[in-house]
Amino acid sequence: MTPEKEWELIRNERAPFLGVGASGALRLVLLFGSAAVALALVLTPVAENFTRSQVASWNGLDFTSTGSIGKRSGYTIRRSVMQAPGEVCIIRNDGLRNGAC
């Protein structure tokens, strides 16, 4: 027997691992999965640039920053929608008022 004929005998005896239909389904899943990953890699920066430009075009954003104060001093910050942007009223523990009160 020639080696080619021996190989044909062995190949015919082995059954496919998942069957003929399963390998086609596996290829289809891999195709669409890789397409979804590629689409996500492309669309993520595009969406980020779009939202960044949209947020930058909004007017009147309140950029609040935080800080720390000593433990013995305290104050209250009052803001009103009727005040101009950036104006605040600071009331200290001793009743002293600063800003646009």
pLDDT tens column, 23-74: 788 889 999 999 999 999 999 988 888 877 777 666 666 666 666 655 666 7
The pLDDT score that the predictor gives to residue 38 is: 95
The pLDDT score that the predictor gives to residue 93 is: 80
Record the pTM.
0.36
Residues 6 or more apart from 78 whose CB is under 8 A from it? 88, 89, 90, 91, 101
Q: What is the mean pLDDT of residues 62-91?
A: 73
Please say if the pLDDT value at position 94 is more than 90.
no
Q: What is the mean pLDDT of residues 72-77?
A: 73
